Structure 1
């Protein structure tokens, strides 16, 4: 199978219990389950780093066993991503979390940072596993199954840093030429990416600001309740009312904490992942342009007869096949990505809307209950005065 082509067929074993699980939106039976958990800190004389346990369960025949357990650090995930991009330059590779997501002099490996990264790494591997082509990549299989010494040996293979730097410089020059001959359908695709990038980055910033402001609001509200308790000690006639207010504030604090937890887990990661996806898509377009530019340069050389005509004709034929495969792979993956993006974002905002309604209903019910109790108390006192 060509490295950039798609194959809808996934080898499965009908006898496996794993294959009895079928996801609603997936036409094929899922036969690869990956979990990233149990982060562990490692301190050496040179560096401090975190490794994560990766458990893989599968029924695929190309795997030597049905279950594997390995430990990988963040740099290993970077290696895998680079290998996937190298093997499939015009497929949409799922993004990894940034190397550092906390700006400023903040504790690098605090619990929140580690947990946020763990979830992102878990999501990355499962995105790759669910991809119809990437899931069968040999480096992906090695990443999931090879033990430490074997994996380290495998990572050392491949071009060196200077070679990759030379290739990247040439790639930039070629990609600039490729833009000039970019087909209209890819121009439209690029325009979509640019607009999408602007919108999703703005939504990401606004979402982060909302969360920050809600955190500040919660911190202040938590101080507000105890003040009413202290106040009730010096106001005998208002003591019950003030304590009720404090109780309502406490209930609203708990509701707000629950809302913030849902916001940070259901919406923020989805939005930020697609910020990273937008950057990835721009890189994919550049790689496609580079392949196109290689073909254009050979055609130009043939036209001007600057080199051996027979050799150029052979090279052009190979490059034409490469361009066609690259374009077909990108177009197919583009539609798949757009559908996933629409489903993910729609689901995230729908869930968030439902959480918002529930949150405000809870807070409203709390204060309505308080007002009702105060009205009943006032009526009782009025009745007692008449007697």
Structure 2
């Protein structure tokens, strides 16, 4: 039997975004969470140049003025969530990291306006799993939680607070920043923000039940792995007979966007590594000139070499701070969007699964009607009544499946409207923040060398 065609009304109020539109244009400002970066200075050569302070995090606002208006526009309500103060609780492999989750809001259904709770990393993963189970099948895009890292976690568990190396500190800071971005993305969604599990997570001033199913080595984790393999096979083997042009074009755009973001991420990682290598080379040059100035007998040349060493050390600090800014402003936010694109793909696949259910119901209904017709022709009235009941049952299932398919299609279109607007705003803010940091660092470098020029000219 041929597959049923999709009969959805096209939404022509706004043309779809073309697949070639990979990076968004400049839009209205929205400041994503930015991690403050403190440059590491050499004790013997303290720089006088202070890197630009990071832009403070803007609260996520809530819109109620129009159902078509994206959350965050033209509203006096807001919700802002900060994740801070990572603390190691316990010792050895039984230890874990806990974070302070601070919420500031004036949304009416929250009991307080400002409060804080402590949550462990597995609590965040447990919250994401609950939201995913409840809202993914409804066509909601669930922001992805930070991924687990067995290497990083083990390093923290086996290390001590007193001799924690820079690698562990960087890992903890990256995870803290990722958790903060995840919480603010989730709270920006009106449905997810009002979910009882989300409200309990940010409001309950007590330990949450242990989310053991989040462990990668647990039975639930192994089951999730097998489910993901099955879902991947299903995505590869089942080709949906799409009749809605909007979904066809949007799917192509999402695939193209994912591919281009991954290329951009690779280029950004190369930029960050290059900037850090530049900082290390500049520091080595500063040390070499410092040694040379100490053995130089000519007084004015020795003084100039010493000043060159200090100026180069200052530029090293600026390069190091800019490398951190490149990482947190560009690389990490782009990586977040790659994961967010994966969440969008999951929602689209839920629609495909709903279509499969509808198609299966159609096929089964046809078989039941055929069985009823055969019973009537054979004169087996005892079977006709039973066949009629089965036909009525599957007619109801077909109707419900079609309604579910149309409902999830409509919900996805609404989700993608908000996703596209927020994507433009986030990328605009990311680019502006990067350019502002870059201009500031370049101005600081110019100031350093302008200060050194008189010393060089004074050599006689």
TM-score where L is the length of structure 1 = 0.79
Contact 2:329-2:434 within 8 A present in 1 as well: yes
Q: Tell me, yes or no, if structure 1 residue 262 matches structure 2 residue 325.
A: yes
Distance 1:147 1:248 in 2: 50
Distance 2:151 2:261 in 1: 20
Distance in 2 separating the partners of 1:287 and 1:347 = 31
Q: Out of 186, 191, 194, which is 1:136 matched to? A: 194
Is 1:100 aligned to 2:149, yes or no? yes
Runs of 5+ in structure 2 lacking a partner? 1-58, 64-70, 160-167, 214-218, 370-386
Q: Deviations over 1:33-66 (max 9, x none)?
A: 3222222212267622111122334444544455
Partner of 2:292: 231
Q: TM-score, normalised by structure 2?
A: 0.68
RMSD over aligned Cα atoms: 3.4
Q: SS at the partner of 1:39?
A: strand
- Runs of 5+ unmatched residues, structure 1: 1-18, 382-387
Aligned to 2:274: 213
Query: Which residue of the partner structure matches residue 406 of structure 2?
Result: 324
Contact 1:174 1:289 in 2 (8 A): no
More helix by share: 1
Distance 2:200 2:191 in 1: 16
CA distance in 2, matches of 1:83, 1:107: 27
Asked if residue 283 in structure 1 is aligned to residue 346 in structure 2, the reply is yes
Residue in structure 1 matched with residue 259 of structure 2 by the alignment:
198
- Equivalences for 1:294-313 in 2 at 5 Å? 294-305=357-368, 308-313=390-395
Q: 1:168 to 1:212 in 2, by over 3 A?
A: closer
Which of residues 234, 237, 240 in structure 2 aligns to 1:180? 240
User: What's the CA shift for 1:111?
Assistant: 2.0
Residues 223 and 93 from structure 1, CA distance in 2 versus in 1: closer, same or farther, beyond 3 angstroms?
same
Q: Judge conservation of contact 1:171–1:290 (CA < 8 Å) in 2.
A: no
Give matches, 1:8-23, under 5 Å.
Answer: none
User: Could you tell me whether the CA contact under 8 Å between 1:218 and 1:256 is conserved in 2?
Assistant: yes
Q: Which structure exhibits the higher relative contact order, with contacts defined as CA atoms closer than 8 Å and separated by 6 or more residues?
A: 2
Alignment partner, residue 428 of structure 2: 346
Task: Give me the whole-angstrom Cα distance separating, in 1, the residues matched to 2:237 and 2:409.
Answer: 17
Instruction: For 1:146 and 1:185, locate their aligned partners in 2 and report how far apart those are by CA, in whole Å.
Output: 42
Aligned to 2:31: none
- The Cα of 1:116 is off from its aligned counterpart by 1.4
